[in-house]
Amino acid sequence: MGQIAQYAINGLMSGAIYALIAVGIVSVYKATKVVNFAHGYLIMFGAYFYYTFAVIFPGMDWAPAWLASWQPGWMTEMREGLTMFSPMGAVLDWAANLPRIVFGLAGALVCNAILGRIIERVLMRPLMGQSVFAMIMVTVGLISILSGGAQLIWTADADFVPTIAPNTPLRFEMFGTMIFLFGADLVNMVIALLMFGGIVLWVRYTKGGIAIRATAEDQSTAYSMGISVPKVFSRAWVLASTTGAIAGAILATRNGISPSLGLFGFSVLAIVLMGGLDSYVGVFIAAMSVGVLEAMTQWKMGGDWAEIVPYVTVLVVLIWRPHGLFGQKEVERI
């Protein structure tokens, strides 16, 4: 029972990250009816922007010394006498990197938001009023552009970035078994859940969110009610890009950074299809379910089998409910 709890918790932590990634895909779809196949590569760019501002820039000659490593006197005194791998040592290591972590997150948010705005303005807005299929194919072509651009700018070499939170090991007993977790993974889960919940509340209760919902229902009616549909499209893409920046930074701290991060988006796209392209609640339930199923599959059958879990699960669900668990069924009248 204790092992089940261990892997279930691991799965829930992964599911929270899936949900944060999926919220960008759902937001763009709700506003534009476009499935963004390139969302995984927006996440990859967010990870690389975090790497640039948290690792590359602090190592430059012009960067102040405190940006690369913040070491005040009191922190040096606290390190004295600490044993190797002590929890306090992990917290102090994180604190020494705190300035560049904050600088990296801020830079990633701003740069990814600008990237999302450019994509919407240059590639998507000229296609307004055209076939949705044409807009979807633009996102497919964008995969190659972003993937190739990342390798040209940063090269394809893998690298590592500082964790967003202290990576202290946590141990506690449950059902007679010791459960082992890392503090950074728990904090990442909390960040992902808070951002997901905040976006859902924003879409539900704010004017900007209501404009997105109104545009999703009927663009012509939204225009007649004074809603600027192009601004709604832009807002949705910027929202997806900024959440993608945070998700990319989290994934980079967990898995390292490389162009292969972009492929992560395809797994999450399967989760979105499973939950329903236009349902935040459905996507959240699907993300958590797939996260737990992946963890259990990895426990019993190995990591190779866990990789196909999202695709097998979505196939089973779509056979039963073609519009997803909570997706809105579209009725075509002839």
10-residue mean pLDDT profile of the chain (334 residues): values are 82 93 91 90 94 92 86 75 72 87 95 95 86 90 92 81 86 77 89 92 85 77 80 91 94 86 87 89 92 88 80 86 77 42
Q: Where exactly are the structural domains of the chain?
A: 2-320
Level-2 CATH architecture, domain 2-320 = Orthogonal Bundle (1.10)
Q: Which residues of 52-90 are buried (b: 16+ CB within 10 A; e: fewer)?
A: bbbbebbeeeeeeeebbeeeeeeeeeeeeeeeeeeeebb
Cα–Cα–Cα angle for 177, 182, 184, rounded to 5 degrees:
155
What residue ranges in the chain does DSSP mark as E strands? 169-174, 177-182
Residue 257 pairs with which residues in a beta bridge?
159
Q: What is the pLDDT at residue 53?
A: 95
Q: What is the pLDDT at residue 101?
A: 93
Q: What is the pLDDT at residue 120?
A: 93
